[in-house]
Chains A and B, each alone.
Chain A
Amino acid sequence: MRLSYPPNVKVIQVPCTGRVDIIHLLKAIEDGADAVYVAGCLEGECHFLVGNLKAKKRVQYVKKVLQELGIEPERVEMFNLSAGEGPRFAEIAREMAERAKALGPSPVKIKKAA
């Protein structure tokens, strides 16, 4: 559809968001990502039945962990949309890029010596 979304969003394709595990989300944060989100199918419409529900639970777990560590849980998020909703995909990408900008750089980024 040639819709544009912010260039600082890196897309990683998976066959189902059920493939995304806690460690993947944590590694993204560990390696300095300012925000990471999971975009899965609409609830009830997962081709693999409950993959997106598992992803939702994992995102909630990571949010809890970040909260415990004093990092903003808003840096991790779960979204549901249909594969046919191109504009919604771009809208979500824009929303998360805005959110990352508003929250500021991740506190986990390696601090350069002053």
Chain B
Amino acid sequence: MIIADRKPLGELLEMVKECNKILILGCKGCVTVCNVGGTKEVGVLASILKIARKKEGRPIEVEEKTIERQCDPEYIAQVKDMVGQYDAVISMACGVGPQFLSEAYPDQRFFPAVNTTSFGGAVSHGIWAERCAGCGTCLIHHFDGLCPIARCSKSLLHGPCGGSASGKCEISKEVDCIWDMIVKKKMEKGRLQDLTKMKPNKDWRTARDGGPRKSVREELVQ
């Protein structure tokens, strides 16, 4: 799912500096799964902002609400009657949320509470790692289920670079060299020759390189 991290408190307080009454809108989707923008975290942020402003002697009124998702117009419509009542609305959803809200309610200001980072999953409780770069042309079947676009720091497609050492990437000992993993897995499964096969160049037009993407299901479009 989409992974995000909450913005530093200083940045959030700066955003609502001029506001006296705000709404914090959470999302029960990805940000709930990575424990950054769900009902609980909305409550925590509301309390933190109230504490900070009380300390300053300029109390702030904070309303809390969490909706199913902020990436579907039907859910965005649910807050139609409430968004106008505030000086600003902080959205704890991924980058999509504040944008959908801004489009639907152009007269209100929507601030992002989180920095959205990547597509990924939980590697252990409380730790989420990037797994997918959204390149639009998935190639992981060529690499035995491992993705060099997302997990190689240089997105190399033909093998490890000279910086691969003891299975780690040269940028940090905390980053595994995915090519080390791919080659070892291919060797283990007896498929090392796969890596010598000629493949056409990757078409990067389906990635962010080709501009903002749109997916259409003709069978569903009304």
Contact = CB atoms under 8 A, between A and B. Distances in A.
Contacts of A109: 54
Contacts, number: 37
B43 interface: yes
A103 B106 CA distance: 47
Number of contact residues on B: which range applies?
10 to 19
Given A23-B40, A71-B51, A111 B57 contact: yes
B10 A26 contact: no
A29 B47 CA distance: 9
A49 interface: no
A108 B54 contact: yes
Nearest to B43: A23
Interface residues of A, number: 17
A108 B10 contact: no
A107 B57 CA distance: 9
A69 B51 contact: yes
Given A22-B44, A23-B40, A65-B48, A108 B9 contact: no
Nearest to B10: A68
A72 B72 CA distance: 42
A27 interface: yes
B204 to A, nearest CB: 40
Interface string A12-43: 00000000011100110110000000000000
A70 interface: yes
Interface of A: 21-23, 26-27, 29-30, 65, 68-71, 107-111
